[in-house]
Amino acid sequence: MNCRKLFEDWKYAFGWLTIFAIVFGAVFTFYAVVFIRGYNSDNQVNTVTIAGYGEVVAVPDIASISFSVTETSESVKSAQDLASEKINKVFEYLKGEGVEEKDIKTTSYDIYPKYEWINKGCDYGEICSPRGNRELVGYEVSQRTQIKVRDTSKAGGVLSGLGSFEVQQISGLSFTVDDVETLKEEARDKAIADAIEKSKRLEKALGVKFVKIISYYENDRNISYDVGYSKEVLMDSVRGNNEFLPEISTGEKTITSSINISYKIR
């Protein structure tokens, strides 16, 4: 075998292999750069974020009132009987005022032992320190109730009427909207419509095309203006002094929604 010829053939083949490798590497690098640029152009898109705002104003249609009935007696049963007798009369009154049973809800029912410190004096002529014991003297039963008055024009009268039953801890009167979820949806729809209208104007102003939505975020909140009363006014109402109860205005409840929509543009 001619070693010189074999070496020349190997050198020739290696040269062509080197040229092929260079060409292949250049072609691979070119297409890799094109692919990466194309990938980045698809994934690192130009975007515009537009804010939308919607607002709905409603007149509250429910008045909420909370109160407690508390009775104390020497045994749990007698305290419960006293409390039940009073609360049943209150419920009967409320139903007579048009408050439905579904709108009367017991929120808590508690039984507490009541203790007193009983002093035991010293015998006559005896020098001693005061003595005494903590003794059980009875039980306190407390039932707290929350009601909804759907005819808000009757709210003041109901609040005052509760006073004739000597209930305790009447909370401030507050007004709410019953179907607030529907109002939230309406406010959101207005916010979306506002964002879409802004996007149309912005397309024309910037000379771009809004291709598709790539993200959406919403934040809704409620702003309520409730009518409240001072403790003195409420206690006057409890005592039946109706002349101290001012004319009740339900005010308005404003539900707002704010959204952000991000668009891909070209």
pLDDT at 23: 60
Task: Indicate whether 243 belongs to any domain.
Answer: no
**Co-location of 83 and 16 in the same domain:** no
pLDDT averaged over every residue in the chain: 78
**Co-location of 119 and 162 in the same domain:** yes
11 pLDDT higher than 60? no
**Co-location of 71 and 86 in the same domain:** yes
Tell me the CATH number at 51: 3.30.110.170
Q: How confident is the model at residue 243 (pLDDT cuts 50, 70, 90)?
A: very low
Tell me the CATH number at 78: 3.30.70.2970
225 pLDDT higher than 50? no
The answer to whether the CB of 67 falls within 8 A of the CB of 163 is no
Q: How confident is the model at residue 164 (pLDDT cuts 50, 70, 90)?
A: confident
**Co-location of 16 and 84 in the same domain:** no
In this structure, of 20-34, 141-155, 247-261, the range with the lowest mean pLDDT score is: 20-34
**Co-location of 191 and 148 in the same domain:** no
Q: CA–CA separation, 136 vs 131, rounded Å?
A: 17
The answer to whether the CB of 141 falls within 8 A of the CB of 36 is no
pLDDT at 174: 83
Q: What is the pLDDT of residues 43-78, one digit of tens each?
A: 566 888 999 999 998 888 899 999 999 999 999 999
Of 134, 151, 176, which residue constitutes the final position of a domain? 176
* Residue matched to tokens 């939505």: 213
pLDDT at 251: 72
Q: Which residues, 6 or more positions from 226, have their beta carbon under 8 angstroms from its beta carbon?
A: 60, 172, 173, 174, 175, 176, 251
Task: Indicate whether 51 belongs to any domain.
Answer: yes
**Co-location of 265 and 225 in the same domain:** yes
pLDDT at 226: 43
Q: What is the domain extent for residue 22?
A: 3-44
Task: Indicate whether 241 belongs to any domain.
Answer: no
Q: How far is CA 184 from the centre of its chain?
A: 12
Q: pLDDT higher for 191 or 121?
A: 191
32 pLDDT higher than 90? no
**Co-location of 76 and 167 in the same domain:** yes
pLDDT at 168: 87
Task: Indicate whether 239 belongs to any domain.
Answer: no
Task: Indicate whether 240 belongs to any domain.
Answer: no
**Co-location of 72 and 160 in the same domain:** yes
**Co-location of 30 and 155 in the same domain:** no
Q: Nearest-CA neighbor of 176 among 101, 94, 250, 256? A: 250
Q: Which amino acid is at 41?
A: S
**Co-location of 190 and 122 in the same domain:** no
Task: Indicate whether 200 belongs to any domain.
Answer: yes
pLDDT at 253: 82
Residue 73, helix vs strand vs coil? strand
In this structure, of 125-129, 176-180, 182-186, 193-197, the range with the lowest mean pLDDT score is: 125-129
Note the pTM of the prediction, 2 decimals. 0.58
- Quick one: angle between helices 155-162 and 231-238, nearest 10? 70
Based on the structure, what is the number of domains in the chain? 3
Q: How confident is the model at residue 219 (pLDDT cuts 50, 70, 90)?
A: confident
Task: Indicate whether 242 belongs to any domain.
Answer: no
Q: What is the pLDDT of residues 167-188, one digit of tens each?
A: 988 876 788 888 888 988 999 9
Task: Indicate whether 7 belongs to any domain.
Answer: yes
Q: How confident is the model at residue 166 (pLDDT cuts 50, 70, 90)?
A: confident
SS3 letters across the chain: CCHHHHHHHHHHHHHHHHHHHHHHHHHHHHHHHHHHHHHHHHHCCCEEEEEEEEEEEECCCEEEEEEEEEEEECCHHHHHHHHHHHHHHHHHHHHHCCCCHHHEEEEEEEEEEEEEEEEECCCCCCCCCCEEEEEEEEEEEEEEEEEEECCHHHHHHHHHHHHHHCCECCCCCEEECCCHHHHHHHHHHHHHHHHHHHHHHHHHHHCCCEEEEEEEEEEEEEEECCCCCCHHHHHHHHCCCHHHCCCCCCCCEEEEEEEEEEEEEC
**Co-location of 141 and 118 in the same domain:** yes
**Co-location of 129 and 215 in the same domain:** no
